[in-house]
Amino acid sequence: MRIGLSINYSGGFTEAAAEVADLERAGLDIVFVPEAYSFDAVSALGYLAAKTSRLQLASGILQLYTRTPTLTAMTAAGLDFVSDGRFVLGIGASGPQVIEGFHGVTYDAPVGRTRELVEICRMVWRRERVQYQGKYYRIPLPEGEGTGLGKPLKLINHPVRERIPVLLAALGPKNVRLAAELAEGWQPIFFLPEKANDVWGDALAAGRAERAPELGDLDIYAGPALAIGEDVEPLLEFVKPHLALYIGGMGAKGKNFYHTLATSYGYGAEADRIQELYLAGKKQEAAAAVPDALARAVSLIGPEGYVKERVAAFAEAGVTVLNVLPLGATAGDRVRLIEKLRDLC
């Protein structure tokens, strides 16, 4: 399996970039730059392109509502150019809390918009004149809308590749089916190997049945926390606040995708309690309510032999990339964790 990680997007980027260069030498294969509501991901990715030479660079994720499809395609082509063909376009719907709360854009039709955006991006990368009349995006605007002066245009520059890999972050069955049909890669969150087929198996199979052969096999990116050693069990406590944030705080009751996922894993009552506490402002109590078993199952935390067994379980479940969160106190510790994991993969 390949190994990746996401850098911290909330500060200390210069130090993070220096660490990525060391991680590249340690065997890291791909680095993700998140985009939530901090600095944008594109600036950071361009910086990393100049500081690295081998590893892939991925947006993790560009939210599909915040850029037009053609701007998304232009941005991806630009990042692929400055990185000499090392860019992976990670896109996703995010959620109403960010899209409506921070961007002021209506969160609607994520599946339909994703399909149309990917189709338009691939037209741009092939340097076709973009003529697309979809349900959500119309390029150029049809007669009677706008000034009427819009004409079909094609990208001026020649992209490094006309097929930049697309990675979809998706949880719901319709979005997961779309990822398996249309994208080169799929990124779930809180991947639990033993439950993955129960939750997503039907959607993946349906999407793969419609998949174009030229796309190749679907890459699956899991994101476990990583700690290897005989005394690392207490580090599960660092995983719980992250789980509590998503299960409890990323959406109102009945509109939280991550709560739904935890419930589908068999932790419905626990998810309800986490959400109740988190929405009441009791974040520490919400984190404490996350079951040890759930935190352990979605992580790679334990002695070397145990982690090796869990790596095999992720591989058996179809994972091709471990996009880990190394729980090391220093940059050197994190580099050593990647080196250890490389030996186990």
Percent of the residues in the chain that have a pLDDT greater than 90, as a whole number:
89
Report the candidate in 296, 169, 180, 179 with the shortest Cα–Cα distance to residue 233. Answer: 296
pLDDT one-digit tens code per residue, 52-73: 999 999 999 999 999 999 999 9
pLDDT at 11: 64
Q: Which CATH number fits domain 2-227+303-344: 3.30.750.24, 3.20.20.30, 1.10.3720.10, 3.40.50.300?
A: 3.20.20.30
CA 220 to chain centre: 10
Distances (CA, A) of 23 to 31, 239, 322: 9, 22, 14
Please state the domain extents for the chain: 2-227+303-344, 233-302
Evaluate if residue 28 carries a pLDDT over 80: yes
pLDDT at 27: 93
pLDDT at 76: 98
Token pair listed for 25:
């030498």
148 Cβ partners below 8 Å, 6+ apart?
A: none
Residues 19, 163: Cα–Cα separation, whole Å: 30
pLDDT at 96: 85
- Where is average pLDDT lowest: 94-103, 190-199, 272-281, 306-315? 94-103
Token pair listed for 177:
């089916």
pLDDT one-digit tens code per residue, 88-98: 999 999 888 88
Q: What is the pTM of this model?
A: 0.94
Report the candidate in 191, 117, 60 with the shortest Cα–Cα distance to residue 204. Answer: 191
254 Cβ partners below 8 Å, 6+ apart?
A: none
Token pair listed for 230:
């005989």
Evaluate if residue 336 carries a pLDDT over 70: yes
Report the candidate in 339, 277, 273, 267 with the shortest Cα–Cα distance to residue 298. Answer: 267
pLDDT at 275: 97
- Where is average pLDDT lowest: 168-182, 249-263, 271-285, 302-316? 249-263
* Residue 245 DSSP class: I
- The mean per-residue pLDDT over the stretch 44-48 comes to 94
SS3 129: coil
How high is the mean pLDDT of the chain? 95
Band (234; pLDDT cuts 50, 70, 90): very high
